[in-house]
């Protein structure tokens, strides 16, 4: 995150020291985001004692770093990298086994963005395009046993298992941008990611197929 902030600060310095052109061609930006995904319903898979429930849902903070090339006054091609922290959870199945998990995802996206000026210093940017999602959900298993007080709880958890998986997804975004100068814009941002993850019925671990990320950022053009 500190590297992203440093690069953005250098870009601001370069942009503010150069005269405004008819149309800035290149932009770089960074956003602080909050990523959230709901907990999927187990559905009919609840009848299978091997299925772990509930689904895996949660939220974490993170960031987006992006770079864009303006090909016209209203259209640009953007590449962005987003990363978030880890959220945690606990699942159980019908065979008295508990699964403790962590979840972390990263995404790289290629977007076509359309720009529309609303007021003199206010503009709207809408984008869509493919993303590649890197999911990492390590887990640890434990037997569920009865304690001295009669309460059932997971015993000691075993070693960690898990690996990175990659999935092609669809991303769409909306940014409201307020111009602080001819080169610098700030404002809120929203990202939606549609990810074809396996459901409980098809052997999935319970990850949601829709991820929302919202926050605020700064974009510098030169």
Is residue 110, in this structure, part of any structural domain at all? yes
Query: What digits encode the pLDDT tens for the residues 207-217?
Result: 899 999 999 99
Tell me what the mean pLDDT of segment 156-184 comes to: 93
Does residue 220 contact residue 25 with C-beta atoms inside 8 Å? no
Structural domain total, the chain: 1
CATH number at 32 reads 2.40.160.20
For residue 135, pLDDT beyond 60: yes
What's the pTM value of the predicted model, to 2 decimals?
0.83
For residue 11, pLDDT beyond 60: no
For residue 20, pLDDT beyond 60: no
Predicted pLDDT at 18: 45
Is residue 92, in this structure, part of any structural domain at all? no
Is residue 55, in this structure, part of any structural domain at all? yes
The per-residue pLDDT of the chain, averaged, comes to 87
CB-CB neighbours of 105 under 10 Å: 24
Is residue 190, in this structure, part of any structural domain at all? yes
For residue 2, pLDDT beyond 80: no
What domain range is 48 assigned to? 2-87+102-138+163-221
For residue 85, pLDDT beyond 70: yes
Six-digit token pair at 186? 């700030």
The H helix count followed by the E strand count for the chain is: 1, 11
């Amino acid at each position: 995150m500190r590297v992203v902030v440093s690069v953005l600060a250098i870009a601001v310095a370069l942009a503010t020291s150069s005269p405004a052109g008819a149309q800035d061609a290149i932009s770089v930006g960074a956003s602080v985001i909050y990523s959230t995904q709901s907990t999927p319903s187990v559905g009919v898979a609840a009848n299978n004692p091997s299925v772990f429930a509930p689904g895996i849902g949660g939220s974490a903070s993170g960031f987006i770093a992006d770079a864009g090339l303006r090909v016209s006054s209203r259209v640009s091609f953007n590449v962005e990298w987003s990363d978030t922290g880890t959220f945690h959870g606990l699942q159980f199945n019908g065979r008295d086994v508990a699964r403790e998990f962590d979840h972390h995802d990263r995404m790289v996206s290629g977007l076509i963005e359309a720009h529309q000026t609303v007021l003199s210093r206010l503009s709207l940017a809408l984008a869509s395009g493919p993303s590649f999602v890197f999911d990492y959900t390590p887990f640890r298993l434990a037997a569920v046993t009865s304690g001295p007080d009669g309460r059932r709880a997971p015993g000691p958890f075993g070693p960690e298992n898990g690996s990175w998986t990659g999935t092609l997804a669809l991303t769409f975004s909306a940014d409201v941008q307020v111009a602080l100068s001819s080169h610098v814009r700030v404002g809120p941002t929203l990202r939606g990611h549609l990810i074809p993850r396996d459901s409980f019925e098809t052997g999935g671990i319970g990850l949601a197929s829709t991820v929302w990320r919202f926050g605020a950022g700064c974009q510098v053009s030169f």
